[in-house]
Amino acid sequence: MADIIKLLPDHVANQIAAGEVVQRPASVVKELLENAIDAGASNVKLIVKDGGKSLIHVVDNGSGMSEIDARLSFERHATSKISAAEDLFNLNTKGFRGEALASIAAIAHVDLQTKLDGADIGSHLKIEGSKVISQEVSATPKGTSIAVKNLFFNIPARRNFLKSNQVELRHITDEFQRVALVHHEVAFQFYNNGSELFNLPIESFRQRIVHVFGNRMNERLVPVEEETEVLKVSGFICKPEFAKKSRGEQFFFANGRFIKSPYLHHALIAAFEGLIKSEMQPGYFLFLDVDPGSIDINIHPTKTEVKFDDENTLYAILRSTIKHSLGQFNVVPALDFEHDNNLQTPYSYQGKEAILPRVTVDSRFNPFDEGSQITKKAGNTFRKESAEGWENLYVDSVENDTPFSSVHFESEIETPDIFEGETEDLDTNQITFQLRRKYIVTTIKSGMLVVNQNRAHQRVLYERFLGDDTLKQGASQQLLFPLQLEFTVQEIEQLKGLCENLAVLGFILTFDNEEQVTVSGIPNIMTETSIGMVLAELVENRNDSISPADFMAKTLCKTIALKTGQAMDAESQMALVNDLFGCKESKLDPFNRIIYTTIETEAIEKKFM
């Protein structure tokens, strides 16, 4: 039998390796930014176009490379970070595998310009699909400029699996934030399609968090600081009242590298136990400094998943540290058994000024008047001498009797009685009542119908929003005073991507600057007080797996729908039931949960046998 095993050509091997290293444009951004940091850059500029599909350009003022190093950097397993296997257990740099640039060059057009500090001229290198097109000397500033164009140009199948430009930009922004947060001693600029998204100067860690996530983040941060022989923890956590339903601002950095650790995340959740609901997620920005020999960061190509030698100890230290910070900064209410609650100012009176007592004197009172009904007796007390003539104290101010028919009384709120109408004919007079302000109970021919009011309203609103989007005729109500809301740069970009669908539903948005949006119109069925909550829910729970119209309809109906605990009058109850059974799908809500159930008359009668 002929030999069938053969060595793959280098360009094929590089393309296979690129499948592990380069999953999407964000993977290229991560590798290039980390290389710039390893080169000692103090200023890094990132430029992308079309979500990174057309261009990813990183410019730094780092140490640069010589002509030979520039050529060798694109060879597989070529690196300046390690020289022996033992170095893998004492890593202080980001890149070390020597596969990133080789993998990127195998699936894109790469243009590299670099110059060493102190050198007169630099080097200009062009590579397309692992093939060196040209290498020549060039007059370029100190540092490195590398442009990656036409990603996956020679692998159309991989390029077709990329998401929309907006989705890919969001992944790039995530990687940029992870690098920018941990390296706050480096200045960063980020441009997308010619517009500036981030301009971050050299600053403190707290300032970097505020610049990345907006000014509103400053009031949410609680400092964390603890140092032990095993672990040093520093950074910030967000106050419990700002916890979110989705995982938003959650960052672990181990020895200056962003990591994902479900185990340590659970330790932090345990520290917040009793302060937030089980479905809520707290925000945190934590640096973990451990011995490099006790951590293995080479278990995954992206180097975000790591392995610690003693995770149990780290778990206990991290949990106790977070608990200590929450208590130290009075985030957690303390128990003081020596405090007298009677000396505590009631909450409703806090901030109010004291009211001085006033003494009123009747200037017409004469104690020596014999006709007075009150005479002074021994001591300092007064008493009434006689009760005669008491009717003279009251003056009839109404000369003519007013008939009761002309007297108007203020009406009281009528509370419907759930037993009202028991004796009426139930077949012709349908009765509804609210049970525990959660269910609407009504009669049907076969028995009784119990409807979940929240889920029913969600179904009605969902189909209404989808109908408006399909027909492109969402009604809008203009706000008398436009509302200005603050969002982060990333959230503003997401809202811009949803702007067309929002306009169809009735929203009128104007983007004033990179962190502010003005709302001048909203859908007719929305209230002004829910605008901020609805838009925050849209950007927080963005789901790329469903269409924008379906996602927005589900988010809006979930946010605006009647909540459990809201009281409804009989007319509103009946209207909701009628609207529900006018829907195309009345059995399930938009999230495939049961809306109503029926109880047959026979089942009720069996209870009394």
Segment 342-353 mean pLDDT: 62
pLDDT of residue 470: 57
What are 42's two structure tokens?
A: 């103090």
Instruction: For residue 523, name the pLDDT band (cuts at 50, 70, 90).
Output: confident
> Which segment of 156-160, 266-270, 376-380, 546-550 scores lowest on mean pLDDT?
376-380
The pLDDT value recorded for residue 225 is: 93
Terminal alpha carbon distance of the chain: 85
Outline where 137-261 has alpha helix (H): 156-160, 165-182, 205-213
What's the confidence (pLDDT) of residue 378? Answer: 45
Q: Which pLDDT value is given to residue 127?
A: 93
What is the reported pLDDT for 370? 61
Angle at 342 between CA 338 and CA 331, to 5 degrees: 60
Q: What is the pLDDT of residue 97?
A: 54
Question: In this predicted structure, what is the pLDDT of residue 238?
Answer: 93
What percentage of the chain exceeds 90 in pLDDT? 29
Q: Where are the alpha helices (DSSP H) in 472-607?
A: 489-505, 531-540, 548-560, 570-580, 601-606
**DSSP-based three-state secondary structure for 560:** helix
* C-beta of residue 437 within 8 angstroms of C-beta of residue 560: no
Which residue did the predictor score with more confidence, 526 or 183? 183
Name the CATH architecture for the domain at 432-597. 2-Layer Sandwich (3.30)
Question: Whole-angstrom Cα distance, residue 63 to residue 113?
Answer: 13
Tell me: pLDDT of 455 over 90. yes
Is a pLDDT exceeding 90 seen at residue 348? no
State how beta strands 476-486 and 516-523 pair: antiparallel
Give the per-residue pLDDT at 234. 94
18's tokens: 């690129």
pLDDT surpassing 70 at residue 307: yes
Q: How confident is the model at residue 145 (pLDDT cuts 50, 70, 90)?
A: very high
Q: How far apart are CA 392 and CA 388, in angstroms?
A: 9
Enter the tokens of residue 303: 């180097």
pTM of structure: 0.68
pLDDT at residue 338, rounded to an integer:
60
What is the mean pLDDT of the segment spanning 485-502? 80
Structure tokens at 168: 């890919």
pLDDT, greater one: 118 or 1:
118
pLDDT reported for residue 414: 47
454 and 562 Cβ atoms separated by less than 8 Å: yes
pLDDT at residue 420, rounded to an integer: 40
Q: What is the pLDDT of residue 381?
A: 47
Cα distances from 230 to residues 92, 183, 185, 221, 592, in angstroms, run 18, 23, 26, 25, 48
Residue 295 carries which side chain, given as an amino acid letter?
I
> Which of residues 93 and 409 earns the better pLDDT score?
93
Structural tokens at position 163? 């998401």
Whether residue 356 is predicted with pLDDT greater than 80 in this model: the reply is no
Residue limits of CATH 3.30.230.10 in the chain: 205-328
| Res. 333 pLDDT band, cuts 50 70 90 | low
Q: Does position 430 have pLDDT exceeding 90, yes or no? A: no
Amino acid 530: pLDDT: 78
CB 284 within 8 A of CB 243: no
**Segment 565-603, tens digit of pLDDT:** 888 888 889 899 989 988 988 899 998 999 999 999 888
Taking residues 470-482, what's their average pLDDT? 73
**pLDDT at 140 exceeding the cut of 70:** yes
pLDDT tens by residue, 375-395: 444 444 445 455 555 555 554
**Dihedral in degrees, nearest 10, Cα atoms 461, 465, 468, 471:** -110
**344: pLDDT confidence band, cut at 50, 70 and 90?**
low
Residue 435: how many CB atoms within 10 A of its CB?
12
> Which position has the token pair 């079309």?
50
Whether the per-residue pLDDT at 330 is higher than 80: the answer is no
**Is the pLDDT higher at 482 or at 344?**
482
Residues 10-200, CATH architecture: 2-Layer Sandwich (3.30)
CA separation for the pair 569, 584 (Å, rounded): 25
- Cβ contact 265:284 at 8 Å: no
The answer to whether residues 164 and 51 touch, using CB atoms and an 8 Å cutoff, is yes
pLDDT at 57: 96
Query: What does each C-alpha distance from 1 to 4, 5, 6, 7 come to in angstroms?
Result: 9, 12, 14, 18
CATH architecture label of 205-328: 2-Layer Sandwich (3.30)
What does the pLDDT read at residue 130?
Answer: 84
CATH 3.30.565.10 domain span(s) along the chain = 10-200
Percentage of the chain exceeding pLDDT 70: 77
Determine the Cα–Cα distance for residues 474 and 455; give it in Å rounded to an integer: 22
Arithmetic mean of pLDDT over the chain: 80
